[in-house]
Amino acid sequence: MSSVAPPDPYGEFAEFYDVYVGERLDDLPFYLEAAKSARTPVLEIGAGSGRLTVPLARGGVSLVAVDISPAMLAILKGRLEQEPDAVQRRVEVVEADARRFDLGRQFDLLVVPFYTFNYFLTREDQTSALRRFAAHLTERGRALIDVFIPLGLLERCPSDPVPKVDRMDPATGCRVRGWNIYTFDKEQQMEHRRHIFEVARPDGTVRRREFITRRRYWFREQLNALFERHGFVVEGVCRGYAGAPADERSEQLLFELRRSAAAEDLRI
Ligand SMILES: C[S@@+](CC[C@H](N)C(=O)[O-])C[C@H]1O[C@@H](n2cnc3c(N)ncnc32)[C@H](O)[C@@H]1O
């Protein structure tokens, strides 16, 4: 692993992330079920603030939670501290770049939930990450990778800010309002989201933050070819978390992959 800390892609987003995402846990039953057949802990890539990590651990799943963002991991660690010892013991938190990490062990199940794969912005990022994923899987290992394609926004991108959140932050007692302004570079298949947040404190003062996150989107056939070139067999592609097959209108693709025999040759 490199000794130079990479930039934190979530440094600015972290303080708003949990309020922005809200109570979303529609993917939890799917990952709980998938974890049942794993003989090893589950390797979670891009665990972030622990939206999924902590409920999985509560459900009895042992995990290694990898993320590049110190700011997101600080929230995850804070959340874990509130949990009973048994839950805390199930989670090993690792600050690492998924494109370069080496844990020196293998897992039966690797998961990349909630669009973390879209943060690998270049072909090189994807290739490096997939090689690392394959190297961390046992022979019977499976990977579940949840990606998004913003088809609706690509067809008709609103020029005005899109309201995304208006919620009280229970941690601070502040009202948080947020908007996204989207622009797309269709040639590079890149989405730029300008996030705007306004935080109204109980004393009436308002703080405003703006920053940009960038995500790369990939179409299904591109992803199929990419996964197959980098050590995986595509076993299924679903939309949602109840097994419905994806179609050409699906804005979310959940890839179920198995490590291929060729993965052995890709180890680095
Ligand atoms: C959309 S958030 C998902 C967080 C969490 N899995 C969830 O479902 O709420 C994406 C996460 O990916 C992490 N991430 C982005 N690039 C990464 C990389 N190269 N290596 C590891 N984590 C990365 C970010 O820090 C962020 O926490």
How far does residue 46's CA lie from ligand 1's centre (Å)?
3
CA 163 vs CA 159, 172, 179, 197, 213: distances in Å:
12, 21, 4, 10, 16
Residue 73 lies in a domain: yes
Q: Is residue 53 within 6 Å of ligand 1 at its C-beta? A: no
Indicate if the pLDDT at residue 132 is higher than 60. yes
Q: Is residue 113 within 6 Å of ligand 1 at its C-beta? A: yes
How far does residue 33's CA lie from ligand 1's centre (Å)?
22
Number of domains in the chain: 2
| Domain co-membership, 257 together with 179 | no
Q: Is residue 9 within 6 Å of ligand 1 at its C-beta? A: yes
Residue 72 lies in a domain: yes
| Domain co-membership, 111 together with 136 | yes
| Domain co-membership, 43 together with 163 | no
Enter the tokens of residue 77. Answer: 């660690």
CA nearest to 111, candidates 55, 59, 35, 179? 35
Q: Which residues contact residue 188 at a Cβ distance below 8 angstroms, ignoring those fewer than 6 apart?
A: 216
Residue 171 lies in a domain: yes
For residue 90, the domain's CATH number is: 3.40.50.150
| Domain co-membership, 223 together with 163 | no
Enter the tokens of residue 95. Answer: 């600050």
Residue 5 lies in a domain: no
Q: Is residue 136 within 6 Å of ligand 1 at its C-beta? A: no
- Report d(CA 140, CA 130) in Å as an integer: 16
- Report d(CA 268, CA 265) in Å as an integer: 9
- Report d(CA 191, CA 121) in Å as an integer: 10
**Among the ranges given (4-8, 78-82, 124-128, 165-169), the one the predictor scored with the smallest mean pLDDT:** 4-8
- Report d(CA 250, CA 260) in Å as an integer: 26
Pocket test for ligand 1, best of 67, 99, 128, 130 (most atoms within 8 A of CB): 67
Enter the tokens of residue 30. Answer: 């799917």
CA atoms within 13 A on the CB side of 11: 5
Tokens 């293998």 -> residue: 106
| Domain co-membership, 165 together with 93 | no
| Domain co-membership, 31 together with 130 | yes
In this structure, are strands 252-259 and 137-148 parallel, antiparallel, or unpaired? antiparallel
Classified as helix, coil or strand, 228 is helix
| Domain co-membership, 46 together with 32 | yes
- Please give the pLDDT value at position 12: 95
How far does residue 203's CA lie from ligand 1's centre (Å)?
33
| Domain co-membership, 85 together with 190 | no
Residue 8 lies in a domain: no
Residue 99 lies in a domain: yes
Residue 4 lies in a domain: no
- Please give the pLDDT value at position 3: 54
| Domain co-membership, 229 together with 209 | no
Residue 104 lies in a domain: yes
CA 118 vs CA 52, 99, 214, 216: distances in Å:
18, 13, 9, 5
| Domain co-membership, 170 together with 128 | no
Enter the tokens of residue 220. Answer: 């299904």
**Among the ranges given (93-107, 156-170, 180-194, 252-266), the one the predictor scored with the smallest mean pLDDT:** 252-266
Mean pLDDT over 244-249 rounds to 93
Mean pLDDT over 8-28 rounds to 95
Residues written for the chain: 268
Q: Is residue 72 within 6 Å of ligand 1 at its C-beta? A: yes
Q: Where are the beta strands (DSSP E) in the chain?
A: 42-45, 63-67, 91-95, 107-112, 137-148, 162-169, 174-185, 190-200, 206-216, 232-239, 244-245, 252-259
- Please give the pLDDT value at position 34: 98
Q: How confident is the model at residue 262 (pLDDT cuts 50, 70, 90)?
A: confident
pLDDT digits (tens, 9 = 90+) for 22-71: 999 999 999 999 999 999 999 999 999 999 999 999 999 999 999 999 99
- Please give the pLDDT value at position 170: 86
For residue 159, the domain's CATH number is: 2.20.25
How far does residue 259's CA lie from ligand 1's centre (Å)?
22
- Domain hosting 164: range is 152-216
Q: Is residue 119 within 6 Å of ligand 1 at its C-beta? A: yes
| Domain co-membership, 32 together with 98 | yes
Mean pLDDT of the residues in the chain? 95
Report DSSP state, residue 122. S
pLDDT digits (tens, 9 = 90+) for 174-195: 999 999 999 999 999 999 999 9
| Domain co-membership, 157 together with 226 | no
Whether the CB-CB separation of 125 and 98 falls below 8 Å is answered with: no
Mean pLDDT over 224-242 rounds to 95
